[in-house]
Structure 1
Amino acid sequence: MANQLFNEFHAHTKEQWKQQAVKELKGKNFDEMMVWNIDKNIQIEPYYASEEIDLQSTKNIQQAQNQRVNSNWNYREIVRYSSEKETNSLIYKLLRQGVDSFLIDLSDVLFYNVEIKKLLHNFKLSDTPFFFKVENQALDLVNELQNFAPYQWKGGIINDAFGRWMNTGNWDENHWQDSAELIRKVQNSPQFKVLHFSSHHFHNSGANVAQELAFVLAQAIETIDKLSQEGIEVKDILKNIEFSISIGTNYFVEIAKLRALKFLWEKILLEAYGFDISLTNTTSFHCQTSSYYHSEITPHCNLLRTTTEAMSAIIGGCDAISILPFDKNNDDFGQRIARNISIILKEESYFDKVTDPSAGSYFIESLTLEIAEEALKILEEVEAIGGIIEAFKQGFIQKEIRAENSQKQDDLQANKYIMVGVNKFRLDEKPFLKTLESTPIKHSDLELLPNLRLSESFEV
């Protein structure tokens, strides 16, 4: 009976589907009505079929899927340091509320004023992963950890030298030597990462998905090359790497973005360095929900945004996730709601029970490869200039991101892009529109990347 039912449905090609769609549009332009541009070079079509995937694409997709093992992720709470006692007590409290790992933000603190032993009293780094965000104090921190924790650690050091330089213009001249020494010191702790490559400074200045991937990968390539010159073997560099990626509101695109990053990372390592990372699977991927798409005028809409962003990160295959509070107050309630998003997705929605739920989707698989192809073109441009540092010094990165952010602003103001509660569906229905200052931020002769939010022009 079932076979007879399916015999009534005949196979149709994509071209036949398109012809029928054109007929139904009654003279309206198909591309204008049905094709969606996520940037000038990447389009999303209304319909995808198996014919999208040729033999080469199938091989590439299988490579991308090999990077995804399971859907289990850690929730990483961002804790700003206040004092040893207060921060220690807060960590205890958060462990009981579903937090798996911690990012202790020490970036605004002079390290010699912090007693790490008191801060981590009754915690064992081999049980609970701790990440420490520092600024040029990583060696001091590791030396202190070795004094009272003579065992293997979980977690890592977050010393985002590239992000700090591109946001402030400050670069540590000893960065490469210190990074090499860090790797030597933590070689007996394979689950403790000391090389952290963030895309947040690109994302928060308005970069599109391909730019974000290209520039964060360029940071990793620059680091591998520089540390190799310091005498560190590639295999030792790779096992210390973690990528930290901002996840935006474009649900399917962000799933594909994370998948594309994993695919490109394996491709680069295999083709450029002869290293098959799929055999070791040592690189970790952390995701953070976007502040660029936060709205201060309708903060409760951010609850929906951060939820879909978290879902994109999890389905895309993150190892850890940090969810930003929905409002700028960053109070206990906002932090609790953010934490509960991860808990509900795991304990009630069972996102951790499904292995690679997006695998096999013609749409996501095609979009993954399209994003990867565009990111690779941009990466090749950066490398042709001389790498990420030279490309930033010459203003290439700033120019490309500035143009993309301007286009997003124009689309938002023209209602080509909709932000709920910002340019559409506001309570007052009269969004305030102001002209944003477009003068680039300078540090000496270097143009810096600004920390922006897309909705700012609609906020009083």
Structure 2
Amino acid sequence: MATSLFEEFQPHSKEVWKNQAIKDLKGKDFEQTLIWQAEGDLRIEPFYSPEDLSSLPADLIQSAQKNTAIASWHNREKIIFSTEKETNQLILEAIEWGADSVIIDFEEKNITTINFKQLLHQIKLSEVYVFFKVQNQSLQLLETLASLIPYQMKGGVQDDYLATWMHTGELSKDSTTLLAHSIRKVQNHPQFKTLLVSGEVFHNAGANSVQEIAFTLANALEYIDQLTEAGLSLEEILHKLEFGLAIGTDYFIEIAKIRALRYLWQKVLSEGYAFDKANEFPAMITAYTSSYFDAALTPNTNMLRATTEAMSAIIGGADALVLHAYNSTFEQEEGFGKRIARNISTILKEESYLDKVNDASAGSYYIEHLTFELAQKALILLQKVAALGGSIAAFEQGFTQNAIAETHRHRQEATTSGKRILVGVNKFRFDEKPFVYEAKEEYSSSIPLLSAQRLSEVVESQA
């Protein structure tokens, strides 16, 4: 009778493995040598085992993840509006060459001056997911679309006025009222979102993963409180809500970050709001590759960073993926860069088959443990924000900015000292083109704001 190869090996507990590791270290301290203290006060052990899952709510973590029969994600391309004709052409080209949906970013343009009939020529919003990114103009946009489109739309409006305020200092007094009207206006469009809660503003200012989760959720709770006061029900709000997260270069932590936000969101809804339908509203998450970790020195390395960021987003379970061009932070011409960005998502889908498994990281001892630890650390920080009076109050007191600034400062020090490696910036560098540092425009405000940063600038400015 044939015996299994594994029958020759006796199972060992984690304690046995640890004792063997201590023995092999020959006097070196186990904690100092093999335990990694990651950003956000995360304690990363050298190995994990089934024992590490026994104390975790693994079933709750996994049930909170993307709840669809399709493992795929939207390859979503962001297009900056220029003219109606040119932007329309870029949308059609993006869809033809692999994009499943698009974001039209109007930046600070007045959308009442835009000819939407020309902009959306040959684009049917019942077939193509189109997202419109505006600043405090969601209601005007929806009224314009309603006059042109008689059918149910797919896509949404992205008008995160809290993130805009934290970045620019500008906040309209009627923002909540306009957002409430916008949500009511599209209740009969089930696949059209109107409330974006984005963590990009925190990430790009230098926030670590714990901070990004906590501050993003704090903004979401702020929106819920304001909108329920404006007369909307929790269900009406949740139907129209989506999250945005920027994905950085810490591969496994970024996978766990998406999963931790979903788990913590379910926990907040069910326990904080006593909402018994929380499992019917899993967090919808669009992932954006990080501009914070982009480099202008040896810029082709940005393609490598974008690839690992995209894989983190996909394995973490993002519903949509937005990759910016590798050269978008320092060049006006992004044609080739956009093509590469679009193809990264396509290759990961068509050639790497990452769209074939739902929640690919479920059951991983390391990722499950990291997911729970991230959620626990983020919950503690979220409770601190709540104790200060919520997201707006914490920001007005400088709590949010100071915490993020401290993280960014530590990263800069680690980068300039060489303790933190940025490939192509402070190591393995090839100066393909000269870089000229330009100071960012500063906004005047009575409170500190969250300015977008790039970690490599501290080195590039010395080049």
Give TM-score, length-normalised by structure 1.
Answer: 0.94
**What amino acid maps onto 1:216 in structure 2?**
T
Of residues 335, 339, 343, the one that matches 1:340 is: 343
Cα separation, 2, equivalents of 1:258 and 1:59: 16
Q: 1:153 to 1:40 in 2, by over 3 A?
A: closer
Q: List per-residue Cα deviations over 1:166-195 (Å, max 9, x = no partner).
A: 111101111110011001111110111100
Match of 2:409 in 1: 406
Contact 2:218–2:391 (8 Å) recurs in 1: yes
Deviation at 1:282, TM superposition (A): 6.1
Distance 1:335 1:80 in 2: 12
Instruction: State the Cα deviation string for residues 336-366 of structure 1 (Å, max 9, x = none).
Output: 0000000001111111112221111000000
Residue 28 of structure 2 aligns with an amino acid whose one-letter code is K
Q: By how many angstroms is 1:12 displaced? A: 1.3
Residue 4 of structure 1: CA displacement?
A: 4.8
Work out the CA distance in 1 between the residues paired with 2:171 and 2:77.
Answer: 27
Q: Which of 357, 360, 383 is equivalent to 1:354? A: 357
C-alpha distance in 2 between matches for 1:55 and 1:15: 16
Is 1:244 paired with 2:244? yes
Deviations 1:83-131 (A, max 9, x none): 1111112212221101110100112311122011111112111100110
Amino acid of the residue matched to residue 39 of structure 1? E
Deviation at 1:63, TM superposition (A): 3.3
Which residue in the other structure is 1:421 paired with?
Answer: 424
Counterpart AA for 2:413: D
Partner of 2:288: 288
1:123-134 aligned within 5 A: 123-134=123-134
Asked whether the equivalents of residues 441 and 448 of structure 1 are also in contact (C-alpha less than 8 Å), the reply is no
State the partner residue of 2:303: 303
1:381 equivalent in alignment to 2:365:
no
* Mapped partners of 1:149, 1:442: distance in 2: 38
Displacement of 1:151 after TM fit? 1.3
- 1:50-93 CA-partner distances (Å, limit 9, x unpaired): 11122553343343347475421011111111111111122122
Q: Which residue number in structure 1 is paired with residue 446 of structure 2?
A: 445
Could you tell me which runs of 5 or more consecutive residues in structure 1 were left unpaired when the two chains were aligned.
Answer: none
Once the two structures are overlaid, the 10-residue window that deviates more, 84-93 or 358-367, is 84-93
State how 1:26-425 maps to structure 2 within 5 Å: 26-39=26-39, 41-65=41-65, 67=67, 70-277=70-277, 279-281=279-281, 283-327=283-327, 328-329=330-331, 330-425=333-428
Q: Secondary structure at the match of 2:46?
A: coil
Residue-by-residue CA offset, 1:354-404 (whole Å, 9 max, x unaligned): 222111100000000000000000000000100000000000001111111
SS for the counterpart of 1:196 is strand
Deviates more, 1:74-83 or 1:271-280: 271-280
Cα distance in 2 for partners of 1:382, 1:445 equals: 20
**Deviation larger for 204-213 or 4-13:** 4-13
Give the alignment's TM-score, normalised by structure 2. Answer: 0.94
Describe the superposition over 1:234-293 as per-residue Cα deviations: whole angstroms up to 9, x where unpaired. Answer: 100000001010000111110000000000111111112222455434642100000001
Q: What is the SS of the residue equivalent to 2:243?
A: strand
Do 2:98 and 2:342's aligned partners in 1 also have CA atoms closer than 8 Å? Answer: yes
Query: Aligned-residue CA RMSD in angstroms?
Result: 2.2
Secondary structure of the 1:90 match is helix
Looking at structure 2, the residues matched to 298 and 217 of structure 1 have their Cα atoms a distance apart, in angstroms, of: 35
Task: Give aligned-pair identity as a percent.
Answer: 47
